Structure 1
């Protein structure tokens, strides 16, 4: 029996899938602790910055490149993905989530997947499962944003409805970013999210931490 691609991708991106996404805040925990993020408005601004100028778009481009790549091209993408991590914790986040995804999908589907940063593994796995790239991009960017919203709900804290309002408000931008990333042109990767990057560096020195990044 053939599994519907959308259902398969929803399973992989579900919070219950064993990649540990829920344990990473992407530096948001630092921003809350230092008062930069304190309500729904500032949380949404932080997440929009992550999408537009941080890992949101750059990871989407990496995913598209991995989906389109031949096997021999993957090591170069892996090296680029690791080089783009702005801090030790963010590198660990990408590597650990990617290795966990690869382990699970090798077991479930028998895919030949490297232990690599998360967007590279997800893009390659989607290609091997014949999941269309546009669908993969839209749902993966939404999952990235939703994970940050979930972290904000716990950290700020925000109400569940407030959090869902942020996710809904981001929907049009998620569609635009998926279109921008679709060609998978790694030369177009460029980030300018300095506050987010510094927050991820400062996270490891927080006295109290709920998240790994």
Structure 2
């Protein structure tokens, strides 16, 4: 039994108290505007978000957090992550989930882990725990996509089978992105998923709404 994978599953489980279920990452806006209406359009939304948007950016930030050799370097990575947030709600999403993650990891595992943006926090915690970077990133991306699929199941609405099929179709992409970003540097940080960023900004004034982002 690989305890490394069990620890990662624990940290990225929906039961881990970071409140991920409360955030849609702008997907609620996309559904409200009719951009996501089916399992097919959900896949069309999530694939570029992973490939060229938040997914890849977070994978790079996980790698940078994992690679940081001291507190100063880690602080620079976290500052970059905060500056890179495309909207106030995106910043809040990463900050609040990251702080909750760090608090729980400090309390249970006893790591010296300051409050950080979520992907940076995960990368740093994985390094402190001796967990492999590629597996950490792959499982994070899968959990990120899974949370958005869960939101779409409730909001579109989609059937459970349709939602899980969409997530299964994205699984190879999560693995590939994790492999591609293990040696990432700060110059690899970018996002081209502009419509997702617009949706996140517009969510700040969306009414009615269920999610915090």
* TM score, norm. by length of structure 2: 0.97
Aligned counterpart, 1:147 = 147
Aligned counterpart, 2:200 = 200
What SS does the aligned partner of 1:37 have?
coil
1:189 and 1:204 map into 2 onto residues whose CA distance is: 25
Alignment check: 8 A CA contact 1:82 1:117 kept = yes
Taking the TM superposition and a 5 Å limit, the aligned residue runs for 1:119-130 are 119-130=119-130
Q: CA deviation at 1:111?
A: 0.6
Aligned counterpart, 1:180 = 180
Structure 1, unmatched stretches of 5+, are none
1:9-31 deviation per Cα after TM superposition (whole angstroms, max 9, x unaligned): 10010001000111100000000
Which structure 1 residue ranges, 4+ long, deviate > 4 Å from structure 2? none
Q: CA deviation at 1:3?
A: 7.9
1:202 and 1:94 map into 2 onto residues whose CA distance is: 18
1:60-109 deviation per Cα after TM superposition (whole angstroms, max 9, x unaligned): 11101111111231011011100110000000000000000000000001
Taking the TM superposition and a 5 Å limit, the aligned residue runs for 1:81-160 are 81-160=81-160
Alignment check: 8 A CA contact 1:58 1:189 kept = yes
Q: Let me know the Cα RMSD of the aligned residues.
A: 1.2
* TM score, norm. by length of structure 1: 0.97
Is 1:212 aligned with 2:212?
yes
Aligned counterpart, 1:50 = 49
Is 1:19 aligned with 2:18?
yes
Aligned counterpart, 1:8 = 7
Q: CA deviation at 1:184?
A: 2.6
What SS does the aligned partner of 1:165 have?
helix
Aligned counterpart, 2:30 = 31
Aligned counterpart, 2:165 = 165
